[in-house]
Structure 1
Amino acid sequence: MQFIETLSIRTKPRSMLDISSAVQDRLDAFEAGDGLLTAFIRHTSASLAIQENADPDVRADLLDAMDRLAPAGPLYRHSVEGPDDMPAHIKAVLMQTSMAIPVLRGRLALGTWQSLYVVEHRARPHTREVLLHFSGTRAAPPGKAVIAGRD
């Protein structure tokens, strides 16, 4: 079984937004069992990250570190969309635009302190699209096992 769906995510400026619950809701709706979920962000100035979900200082420190690596300003030739645009492209190259996450018994197999985040690199909010592709088994109905190759 497989499904493909696009999540529309409204971001805040320069932020990391936890989308784990929204992704899990989609897995639940499609009755996912065991398999692999690929998440892909369809933008060149935003990223995906799997990161700690307990201490918000981790996310703030990561955003600050990215700003030090690619500061905004008149340093770049590409500035059509403003002084934060080229730094956002650099940050997206340094981070990831796709993630492969195992799914076990219908649940994202993230660690205890991990969540999946959309990382907004721009200085203003955007609506971002995250394409989800699940490939795997369908969840077994209560009291019934799923046999490999059949559901």
Structure 2
Amino acid sequence: MFRRTIRIETQGEGEIVDLTPHVARSVHESGVVDGLVNVFVPGSTAAVTTIEYEAGVLADLKRALSVIAPDTASYAHDRAWGDGNGRSHVKAAVVGPSVTVPVIDGDLGCGTWQQIVLLELDVRPSRNRSIIVTVTG
């Protein structure tokens, strides 16, 4: 098993960060030839998924998440805590905090147009995120 923590400073709600180069580097450094890599973000206002990292698809994802949890909706979390990020928690829960990808012949088993991304969903202007990459095989 090989584990690395990647640190990323995000610039606010809606930012989508391509983690693929960081994860691929971790896989190569691990020496694992065949196995799995798990990418996990601690916290309840960010998420990890895969997507084609292309401007149109990224815009579509942002729009879809705003339909699922719009900023104009009333959230019980906001009433209880007053921090205005109820929608952030809902979006993060819908997408999820992690993704697992196969490691095949020492490389990520992603499809041609598939990248691993971090979704910053918190309403704060910036966050320091730690992403835990675990390679097993």
Report the TM-score, using the length of structure 2 for normalisation: 0.89
The equivalent of 1:26 in structure 2 is 26
Which whole-Å CA distance do the structure 2 matches of 1:81 and 1:51 have between them?
32
Structure 1 gap ranges (5+)? 137-151
Q: Percent identity?
A: 27
For residue 90 of structure 2, what is the aligned residue in structure 1?
Answer: 90
Instruction: State the Cα distance separating 1:16 from its structure 2 match.
Output: 1.1
Distance change (3 Å), C-alpha of 1:68 and 1:17: same
Matched residue pairs, number?
133
Question: SS at 2:88's partner residue?
Answer: helix
Matched residues in 2 for 1:81 and 1:38: separation? 33
Larger relative helix fraction: 2
Would you say the 8 A contact 2:39–2:99 is kept in 1? yes
Distance 1:98 1:119 in 2: 11
Q: Encode CA deviations 1:20-67: one digit per residue, 9 max, x unaligned.
A: 0011111222222111111111010000010112x3110111112111
Code of the aligned partner of 1:105: D
Aligned counterparts of 2:126 and 2:19: Cα–Cα separation in 1? 16
Q: Please give the residue correspondences for 1:85-124 in structure 2 after superposition, counting only pairs within 5 Å.
A: 85-123=85-123, 124=125
Query: How many Å apart are 1:12 and its aligned residue?
Result: 2.4
Partner of residue 68, structure 1: 67
Residues 1:64 and 1:103: Cα distance change in structure 2 (over 3 Å): same
